[in-house]
Amino acid sequence: MIQDLRAAVVRRLETIRGASVVPRIWAKDPTVWSDDPETPEITNRLGWLKVGGEMSRVVGDLEAFANEIRRDFDRVVLLGMGGSSLAPEVFLRSFGRRAGYPSFHMLDSTDPRAIAAVENGGHLDRTMFIVASKSGTTLETLSFYRYFWKQTAGCGSQFVAITDAGTPLERLAQEQGFRRIFLNPDDIGGRYSALSLFGLVPAALMGVPLEVLLGRAEAMAAKCGADVPPARNPGAWLGTVMAEAALSGRDKLTFVLSPGIAPFGMWAEQLVAESTGKDGKGILPVVDHVMRRATAYPADRLFVVMELRGEEDPRRETWMGRLVSAGHPVVRITLEDQYDLAAEFFGWECATAVAGAVLGVNPFDQPNVAESKRNTQRMLADRTEPAVLPQPRRHDVLSFFEGTREGDYVAVLAYLPPTTENDERLRTLRVWLGDRLEAAVTSGYGPRYLHSTGQYHKGGPPKGHFIQLYEPSATDVRVPGEVYTFGELIAAQAAGDLQALTSRGRPLIRVSDLEQLLENA
């Protein structure tokens, strides 16, 4: 099997070279992905290719701004969703808090308990809020803004915006006297924005050296350049391997990450799933993976082992050897230090663009993401009460599990506040399901996943089985200026996505008690 995949990759790389795919990508040629050169969300989504040089010109300004903020504030809170918050979370979890800089927190959950945790997590008058949205219209982000604008009595000097030029958020920030407005290049999509202002403004406020990050990214960009043959081009090679593996049935891109770079998985998950999961095709990332015996995996896996130098593990080495012996392909990537994450941001963006070309999908649009949003907005506008579904009985749970087949996957959709405790609960469930079903298992917090893997769930191959875990909060708070509360908003988001999945005939059970689910199974 590995030999067959290797031969297919060699053939495809030669085809890519003959069709000048890489030079055409760098020339921003939309026909790499579509016969129509005017296809929306291609012609205006390729700015990430040269963003490093553009950002290098503003490093001094960003670092001066960070020094200003750390004099005036003890805490920074990023209000964002999807592409605007995942890269900053990778930076935060990988680099930690640098001495002398404010604490940094992310809010990308509409669960009232997550709102309360931010509100009670520090002095609001010593907190700066970053409102980050490419479109300037993201429902969740603007709801967060309205709440904390009210809680700070409308103190514009505590707010910063990151958005595109001409958006409603830019106008709002001007009218409300925000401390600063950062306008990002408008030809960069959210999930390709890690090395733009959406990633670098938060990184600067954490004290991460921007010149080092951009230097690593530019070095990778050179390796992935237009004049580098695809077989020696790390982005083109990786994208080809990913796509050819998927075409052969190995469409579960399984990440095994050493501890120091483990957060990279959550960013890569959105990039790959949302970019490729459409038109019934796609690659499903499986992150936070637990090593099992090599023979426990069906032939639907491509493993990517990413290690930080100094964190090599002899057990992992032995396990990788067993995977290969069992016929599973393994890609190995070693990072010298955490700064190489910037290089991987660019390399994986390039790889995903190439994979999209091989699979025949547009990696820059997200046609199915809007459906759940429309369902949510309709429920909120009509004041529709989400249907109350009974906790499934043991028979229902067993029937659901028995419906999985080789090559399928299970996704746990958790409408819970993202906390360390809930991270562990979901990990326990993933391990348990993986052992029982010998299938790929993913999990994501709602509504965050709606902006990432949600596209794959609805637009990708019909192989998913979904467990929606919804545990409503005992307390609630109203969204200022709206007739609904955050609790009603997250309930509508959960119900809206349930409606989108069931309308496609996707197998789904909804539970309100994780522990009871495990008992019934």
Give the model's confidence band at 1: pLDDT under 50 very low, under 70 low, under 90 confident, else very high. Answer: low
- Find the helix packing angle between 486-502 and 139-151, rounded to 10°: 170
pTM: predicted TM-score of the whole model, two decimal places:
0.96
Tell me what pLDDT residue 521 has. 63
- Using alpha carbons, select from 215, 201, 214 the residue that is nearest to residue 64: 201
Give the model's confidence band at 295: pLDDT under 50 very low, under 70 low, under 90 confident, else very high. Answer: confident
Q: What is the mean pLDDT of residues 495-508?
A: 93
Quote the CA–CA distance of 411 and 394 in Å, as a whole number: 19
**Between 265 and 382, whose confidence is greater?**
265
Q: Is the pLDDT of residue 339 over 90?
A: yes
Q: Is the pLDDT of residue 375 over 90?
A: no
The CATH class of 369-520 is: alpha beta
- Count of alpha carbons within 13 Å of 150, Cβ hemisphere only? 11
Provide CATH 3.40.50.10490 ranges for the chain. Answer: 2-33+224-359, 49-208, 369-520
- Using alpha carbons, select from 32, 36, 49 the residue that is nearest to residue 358: 32
pLDDT digits (tens, 9 = 90+) for 28-71: 999 999 999 888 889 899 999 999 999 999 999 999 999 999 99
Dig out the tokens for 81 from the structure.
């969703």
Contacts of 293-299 with C-beta under 8 Å, sequence gap 24+, read: 293/322, 294/319, 294/322, 294/323, 294/325, 294/326, 294/328, 295/326, 296/438, 297/323, 297/326, 297/328, 297/438, 298/406, 298/407, 298/438, 298/439, 299/1, 299/249, 299/250, 299/327, 299/328
CATH of domain 2-33+224-359: 3.40.50.10490
**Are 59 and 210 within 8 A, CB to CB?**
yes
Q: What is the mean pLDDT of residues 218-223?
A: 98
What phi, psi does 517 have (nearest 5°)?
Answer: -60, -45
Tell me what pLDDT residue 40 has. 82
Tell me what pLDDT residue 387 has. 62
**Are 284 and 252 within 8 A, CB to CB?**
yes
- Please list the residues that pair with 183 across neighbouring strands: 163
Quote the CA–CA distance of 470 and 513 in Å, as a whole number: 8
Dig out the tokens for 518 from the structure.
């495990």
- Using alpha carbons, select from 12, 47, 73 the residue that is nearest to residue 165: 47
pLDDT digits (tens, 9 = 90+) for 174-187: 999 999 999 999 99
CATH of domain 49-208: 3.40.50.10490
Is the bond leading into 447 cis (omega within 30 degrees of zero)?
yes
Q: What is the mean pLDDT of residues 100-121?
A: 97
